[in-house]
Amino acid sequence: MPLTKMSPLLLKAKNEGYAVGSFSVANMEMVLGVIRALEETQSPAIIQIAEVRLKQSPLELIGPLMVAAAKNAKVPVAVHFDHGKTEEKIRQALDIGFTSVMFDGSHLPFEENCAFTSKINRIAKEYGADCEGEIGCVGGSEDGSENIAINCTSPSQAREFALATEVDALAVAIGNAHGNYKQAPKLRFDILDQTAALVDVPLVLHGGTGILPDDFRKCISLGIHKINIATATFDSVEASVKKTYEKGEIKGYYDLQAAEVQGAYENALRHIEIFGCAGKA
C-alpha cells in the first residue's frame, strides 16, 4: 500500500463515522509497533512527530524512516509533521516526503495565526501535501515543558479560520491538554458540537492521553475524525520495558528492542478499538 495523504483518510472517517489515530513516534521500535497493530487490524492511520521532539529524534534521521515504513505498510499510512513552529523545519519535513504538516499558530493573535497558517498551507500544496491548523489553544505543550493555559475554541472564529486558511484539518480546543491529566478532563462537547456544525473540514483532537473511552466516542460522534496520541505511546513503551525487566525476560539488547515494539503495539491496538477504525483500511 503506497504512502498516502491525510485528507482522504480523514474524509473517509468523516463519511463513515470513526476517527483515524495519529500516533507520535520517536524511534524505529515505536514505528514498528504501530505499523504491526495497523496491519493486524487492517486500520488506516497517521504516524507523526512534533517539532519540539526533534532534539531527541533528529528529523533528518527519523523522517526518512517514517516515510519508508509508510511506503512499505500493507495499509494506508500518512506521515505527519505535528506542531510545526518554524517554516524551516516544515519545509524540511516536506522535502523528506511527509504527506501533511501542521502549523501551530495557536499562541498568535487570530489574524497572525490565519496569515501564517495560510502561508504554510500554500507551501504544503506546492509539495502536494495537506495542512492542519489550530484555533483556540490546547493546554500544556507537546513535550511537557510548558504549562500553557487552555483557551477553548470559538466556533465562529473556527469557521472564519477554516474559510480563510483552507486547511485540510482543524485542531480544536475543548478542554483537552497535552501530557497526562491529573484527572479526567471535562470536555466542552457543546463547543465541539457548535464548531462541527459551522466547519466543513475534519476536526482534530490533540491531547488524547487520558481521555476516557466514552468521551473519545462522543467526540467522534460530534465531529472529531483525527485523534493525536503521543504521551500514551511513550508511557506504554516505558511500562512494557519496565515490566519485561521485572519479569527477568531481557537477556540482551534485542529483548529490550522487542519490549519497546510491544509497548507501542499494545497502545496502538487499544486506541484502534476505541476509535472504531479497525477494518477500515
Which residues belong to the active site? 82
Which bin fits 167, alpha (ψ -120 to 50), beta or left (φ > 0)?
beta
99 in helix, strand or coil?
A: coil
Which bin fits 136, alpha (ψ -120 to 50), beta or left (φ > 0)?
left
Cβ neighbours of 75 (radius 10 Å): 18
For residue 102, give the nearest of 111, 68, 89, 158 by alpha carbon: 89
How many residues in the chain? 281
**Separation CA 132–CA 116 (nearest Å):** 12
Which bin fits 66, alpha (ψ -120 to 50), beta or left (φ > 0)?
alpha
Residue 142 contacts residue 181 (beta carbons within 8 Å): no
Q: Determine phi and psi for 159, rounding to 5 degrees.
A: -65, -45
DSSP structure class, residue 54:
G
Residue 234 contacts residue 26 (beta carbons within 8 Å): yes
Residue carrying C-alpha cell 516536506 = 94
Q: Determine phi and psi for 103, rounding to 5 degrees.
A: -100, 120
